[in-house]
Structure 1
Amino acid sequence: MNYLKLIRYQNLLMLALMQLLFRYGFLNFQSIPLALNEWQYLLLVFATIMIAAGGYVINNIMDQATDNDNKPNQVIVGKSITEVTAYNVYFLVTVLGVGAGFYLSNVIGKPGFAAIFIVISATLYLYATSLKQMLLIGNFVVALLLAFSVIIIGVFDLLPAINTENKVIMADLFSILLDYAIFAFVINFIREIVKDLEDINGDYNQGMNTLPIVLGIKRTAKLVLVLSLIPLVLVVLYIKKYFFAFDLYLATIYALIFIVAPLIYFPVKMIDAKNSKDFHHLSIVLKLVILFGLFSIAIVTYNILHHA
């Protein structure tokens, strides 16, 4: 169980489920060729979660001092698992992820795409060792990497299968993936700032340069409140333009209950948020918004098929 906590298995399961939903709850229902067969797509999911697991492990290794301040009961490295063992796990999962990515890149005839997995792995290492200490840079990087876990589906499953006959529909499908990636980026960027609010004490003791440390808790909380209104407005406009306009009532109801409602709840609760417990609660709310938002692709697909 300690090893599962080390790689943050809950987050990996969410990531894997999200990628599986995009394939089996969306792309498989489109009248298009896909570049990867079933087991190759599963290998893409495996590569993604292995590299993500490596990122979590190296982050746990580098965050020992900070976690001892912020979450002493949740520290794994140095207590339940030695640092040497943690490094071995990091190297193992990273090599497996990059190796799977290298194989898939050659399968689709794009060997240069293997660099994607190498760059992501290197970025996760840099984030854990240095980038997270820089003002907003670490927040941006984490949010971008989550967004890319959606885009990579299009890069490996759609892009190699494009031809002159299907390029229009492929572009439309890639655009949908991009919309979801942008949604994931915006919400996760805000969530990373909320997590900085939650961890301000430990970050301050370790000399981190996070937004709450620079601006203070109250100013940062107000900024987060304002930022949270942006995705709320964008999601409402998106629902009106694409869901409601095309009579996708099931998708509309789902989005209003599981995405819009939490996005309204978040700024309301942010007004009174003051301590680590409050910010932790709000971080979970945003995590659920990301989860329900990405899962909506299956609801939309079902609604389109049922409506048709």
Structure 2
Amino acid sequence: MNYLLSLLNLCRPVNLLLGCFTVLMSAYMMDEFPHVETLIEAIVVVVSFVGASNAFNDYVDFDIDTINRPNRPLPKLQLTKKSALHISIALFILGSVASIALEPAATTIAMGAVLPVAIVYSTSLKGLPLVGNAAVAFTVGMTFIFSGAAFGDAMALLTPAIITFGFSFIRELIKDIEDIEGDRRADLKTFPILFGDRVAAKLSSALIIALLVASVVPYCRGDYGMPYMMLFTLGVSWPLCISIGLLIGTPATQTYSNIANLMKVCMFVGLVAIGMGESILA
């Protein structure tokens, strides 16, 4: 049982739930719940790729995580590096095989875009300033494009994909500030290492403001209704405004960790807001 729990932690259960929830919300927005088989296949692909990416990242980042993430399964020696590699390969294969049963566009997105970027990120892009952040944000945002393709229209969910990309990019930048000590020892060249944590915090704050301004656009265009704007304001905008104050006024590793976790919650709330706003207009 402990071994299975360690495997689950390796794959990041919250991220798995977020991936599953994204596909479910995509199906809801596209009115595709009657197509249960397609829905299940899409969930298998997304959950497999999310788990595989996290396991592979931990395999590659073993030395870094002994400093930045000592409570993860590999640094705690609950699992071996070989086990992490094997589970990542198995999950990548499972996700790739499952994607073949979907629409060709979805298969192409999964195997031709998300899979290679996820692998290259861990091996080559992680330490590049902002490029690594964009790579992670790309794979997260593409969950909506993939889901849209699986349900017949890849561009139907472009707006939530863009918003999710923005969330993920900012969150990854904040995580880089949190991980600056271990990343520096690993000789990575992340943005906070090159320009300092204070500059990175100011950039993160500016990007949060830009994201909040951009989030109003779908409402102004009539894409989403008032429920979207109300829930987004209360459940996303206000927490992120508080995060800006903490980024600037309370610089500390724990602060950055708390903000990164808060942004993950805000992503859940943002998805619900989009679903509610679109359902009113349907």
In structure 1, distance between residues paired with 2:242 and 2:74: 33
Contact 2:121 2:135 in 1 (8 A): yes
- How far 1:5 moved relative to its partner? 0.3
After TM superposition, list the pairs within 5 Å mapping 1:119-268 onto structure 2: 119=112, 120-159=114-153, 174-175=155-156, 177-242=157-222, 248-268=225-245
* Equivalent residue number for residue 30 of structure 2: 27
1:26-46 superposed Cα distances (whole Å, 9 cap, x missing partner): 222xxxxx6993112211111
Q: Deviations over 1:113-158 (max 9, x none)?
A: 5343223222211111111022211101100111100011221212
Q: Deviation string for 1:185-241 (max 9, x for gaps)?
A: 111111111000000000000011100000011111112111211011112343344
Change (3 A) 1:301 1:222: closer
Preserved contact between residue 69 and residue 75 of structure 2 (Cα < 8 Å): no
Report the AA paired with residue 92 of structure 1: A
Could you say which structure has the larger radius of gyration? 1
SS at match of 1:242: coil
Contact between 1:196 and 1:210, CA under 8 Å: does it hold in 2?
Answer: yes
Q: Mark the CA change 1:36 to 1:124 in structure 2 (over 3 Å): closer, same or farther.
A: farther
Task: Give me the identity figure in percent.
Answer: 24
Q: 1: CA distance between counterparts of 2:106 and 2:29?
A: 24
Partner of 2:13: 9
RMSD: 2.2
Distance verdict in 2 for CA 1:9–1:57, change over 3 Å: same
Answer whether contact 1:239 1:255 (CA < 8 A) is retained: no
Unpaired runs of 5+ residues, structure 2, are: none
Report if aligned partners of 2:56, 2:88 keep a CA contact under 8 Å in 1.
yes
Contact 1:232 1:264 in 2 (8 A): no
Q: What residue in structure 1 maps to residue 88 of structure 2?
A: 90
- Alpha carbons of structure 1 residues 254 and 209: separation in structure 2 relative to 1, 3 Å: same
Contact kept, 8 Å, 2:22 with 2:143, in 1: the verdict is no
Greater Cα shift, 259-268 or 75-84: 75-84
Match of 2:38? Answer: 40
Aligned partner of 1:168 in structure 2 is: none
The answer (yes or no) to whether the contact 1:66–1:206 under 8 Å persists in 2 is: yes
Distance of 2:30 and 2:162 partners within structure 1: 19
Given that 1:77 and 1:86 are in contact with CA atoms closer than 8 Å, whether structure 2 keeps it comes out as: no
TM-score under structure 2 length normalisation: 0.90
* Letter in structure 1 aligned against 2:230: I
Deviation at 1:302, TM superposition (A): 4.1
Question: What are the equivalent positions in structure 2 for 1:267-286 lying under 5 Å apart?
Answer: 267-286=244-263
Distance in 1 between the 2:136 and 2:187 partners?
20
The answer on whether the counterparts of 2:137 and 2:168 sit within 8 Å (CA) in structure 1 is yes
For residues 138 and 63 of structure 2, what CA distance do their matches in structure 1 show?
Answer: 26
- Per the alignment, residue 167 of structure 1 pairs with none
Tell me if 1:304 matches 2:248.
no
CA shift, 1:271, in A, is 1.3
Work out the number of aligned pairs and report it. Answer: 277
CA shift digits 1:24-67 (9 cap, x unpaired):
x3222xxxxx6993112211111111012110000011111111
**Distance change in 2, residues 1:114/1:77 (3 Å):** farther
Whole-Å separation in 2 of the counterparts to 1:262 and 1:140: 23
Moved over 4 A (4+): none
Q: Where does structure 1 lack aligned partners over 5 or more consecutive residues?
A: 29-33, 161-173
**1:288 corresponds to which residue?**
265
Q: Distance in 2 between matches of 1:269 and 1:294?
A: 24
TM-score in terms of structure 1 length: 0.83
Q: Letter of the 2:23 partner, please give it.
A: Q
SS at match of 2:126: helix
- Say if 1:70 and 1:201, in contact at 8 Å, map to a contact too: yes
CA, structure 1 residues 229+15, in 2 after alignment: closer, same or farther (shift >3 Å)? same
